[in-house]
Amino acid sequence: MNNMNDRLRTWTLLALLAVGMVFTACNKDDEDPKTEPETFTKGVLVLNEGSFGSGNATVDFIWSDSLNRRANIFQDKNGRPLGDVGQSIAFLDGKGYVVVNNSNKIEVVNPSDFASLGTITGLTSPRYAIKAGTNKAFVTDLFGGAISVVNLSTLAVENTIQTGGWSEAIASFGNNVYVSIADSNYIAVIDAATETVTSNIVVSKGPNSMAFDSFGKLWVLCDGGWQAEIPQLHRVNVSSGLVEASFAFPSLNDYPNSLQMNADGNVMFFLNNDIYRMSIGETAIPTTVFHSAGTRYLYGLGLDPATGVVYAGDAKDFTQNGTVLRISPLNGNLLDTLQAGVAPSKFYFR
């Protein structure tokens, strides 16, 4: 039974659950007092994924100083909801690109006030976007089997690059773009200029997230394909295209994800039910929990580059508003618990 089938089955199940149980959204979320300015320039943007099939993805903004929160800033500014399954946000050339997976689109916004500047359509199931040359972005895709090449001036999909599977995480280094194929076991290396796959770097099953460290090494976190094999963390030398080091997790039941690198590029954080912290110099997966999830379901992770504070999203059961945990980077202690929308999953620091 291959991993792609697993993903499809889970997608089908999600669709069945959305039909049968139904989670959803529509009316406006609770609002904090609007005592803050209307620009979102000093704080963190929280992307709330929403419930699958319910069209209730939202973006919140939390001001760094006051920790006040403004909920649902996209709908507030634009008079319409963001869409179904908020996947990620990319900030390219001074604009925000909000990838809305199950609405098959990317909303282009002014990042300072989230006013809509346009919509990119013609995508199948977009996941993450990255700049890949002048006026050009690559967008990964769950079901499309290809990377979409988007012209950032015309907002049109101009080309597709076949990747042969579920393209997920994406990162660039030099002229190359590295794309993890999450339902397989490799990283596709794409020449951004020629828009062609030049090679594949073999890792282990289920590469779901990755980040470059300060030495230009690419760290790839593989979940093992839902208990198909032991999850591993790999350090890849992108110059040679080889895996330099691999770190195995203890159990098939581990599900590591959401790899984040700190601003100095020397310490990683990731989720494996709980939050773990690992220096790039360590020789094994840490066994000590940095911050315990307890009864919470931690679904996303972010690192404030200015303070190092760790942000984690508690999605609860995906049918209600979640919370954002702020955690000390020094000792893993909980600093604050803040309100969020449904399934807070990504954090972007401004």
φ/ψ of 14, rounded to 5, equals -60, -40
121 binds another protein (CB under 8 A): yes
CA 116 to chain centre: 21
| Position among 32, 36, 48, 56 found at the interface with another protein (CB under 8 A) | 56
273 binds another protein (CB under 8 A): yes
Least spacing, CB of residue 340 vs another protein, in Å? 11
What ranges make up the beta strands (E) of 114-262? 116-120, 126-131, 136-141, 146-151, 156-162, 167-173, 176-181, 186-191, 196-202, 207-212, 218-222, 232-237, 242-248, 257-261
Least spacing, CB of residue 35 vs another protein, in Å? 21
End-to-end CA distance of the chain: 43
| Position among 79, 94, 174, 281 found at the interface with another protein (CB under 8 A) | 79
Q: Residues 305, 331: contact at Cβ < 8 Å?
A: no
Kindly indicate which of the ranges 35-43, 140-148, 173-181, 237-245 contains the residues binding another protein, using the contact rule CB under 8 A. 140-148
118 binds another protein (CB under 8 A): no
The alpha-helical segments, DSSP class H, found in 199-267 are: 224-227
Q: Within positions 309 to 328, which residues make up the interface with another protein, using CB under 8 A?
A: 315-321
CB of 26 or CB of 330, closer to another protein: 26
- Name the 3-class secondary structure at 4: helix
Kindly indicate which of the ranges 59-67, 80-88, 211-219, 303-311 contains the residues binding another protein, using the contact rule CB under 8 A. 80-88
CA–CA distance, 185 with 234 (Å, rounded to integer)? 12
156 binds another protein (CB under 8 A): no
337 binds another protein (CB under 8 A): no
Q: Which residues, in sequence order, are CB contacts of 222 under 8 Å at separation 6+?
A: 185, 203, 204, 205, 206, 207, 208, 231, 232, 233, 234, 256
- Per-residue x/- track, 227-256, another protein (CB under 8 A): x-------------------------x-x-
φ/ψ of 344, rounded to 5, equals -65, 125
Tokens representing residue 223 in the block: 């979940």
Unique residue bearing structure tokens 């999850």? 231
CB of 64 or CB of 116, closer to another protein: 116
CB of 136 or CB of 205, closer to another protein: 205
Binding interface with another protein (CB under 8 A): 1, 5-6, 8-17, 19-27, 29-30, 51, 53-56, 78-81, 83-84, 100, 102-105, 116, 121, 124-125, 142-143, 145, 223, 226-227, 253, 255, 257, 273, 293, 295-297, 299, 315-321, 342
